[in-house]
């Protein structure tokens, strides 16, 4: 794995973890779900909402891109 691929993986993991923990807290506090349903619901929500990062080799070199459902199109990350 290249340096940018590792960076993309870490960004994606970090965003997922933050959204999962936040989602788990919100599901536990504001819904009537119990047991295994709390983390399962938070997992599905975090998977759908979290941004997707990818390292792509272009003719200018390797670049990092992000796609998110709340942003139109694909963005290049410095």
* Per-residue pLDDT at 71 exceeds 80: yes
Residue 22 CA: distances (Å) to CA of 16, 36, 51, 74: 10, 16, 15, 25
Specify the pLDDT at position 25: 97
Specify the pLDDT at position 3: 93
Specify the pLDDT at position 1: 84
Specify the pLDDT at position 78: 73
Residue 54 host element (H or E)? strand 52-58
CA distance 70 to 49: 8
73: region left, alpha or beta (phi > 0 left; psi from -120 to 50 alpha): left
Summarize pLDDT for 13-70 with one digit per residue, the tens: 999 999 999 999 999 999 999 999 999 999 999 999 999 999 999 999 999 999 999 9
| Closest residue by Cα to residue 45 from 14, 68, 23 | 23
Query: Does the model's pTM come out above 0.95?
Result: no
């Amino acid at each position: 794995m290249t340096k940018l691929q590792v960076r993309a993986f870490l960004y994606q993991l970090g965003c997922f973890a933050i959204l999962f923990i936040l989602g788990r807290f919100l599901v536990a506090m504001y819904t009537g779900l119990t047991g295994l349903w709390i983390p399962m619901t938070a997992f599905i929500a975090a998977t759908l909402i979290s941004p997707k990062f990818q390292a792509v080799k272009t003719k200018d070199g390797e670049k990092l891109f992000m796609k998110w459902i709340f942003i139109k199109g694909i963005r290049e990350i410095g």
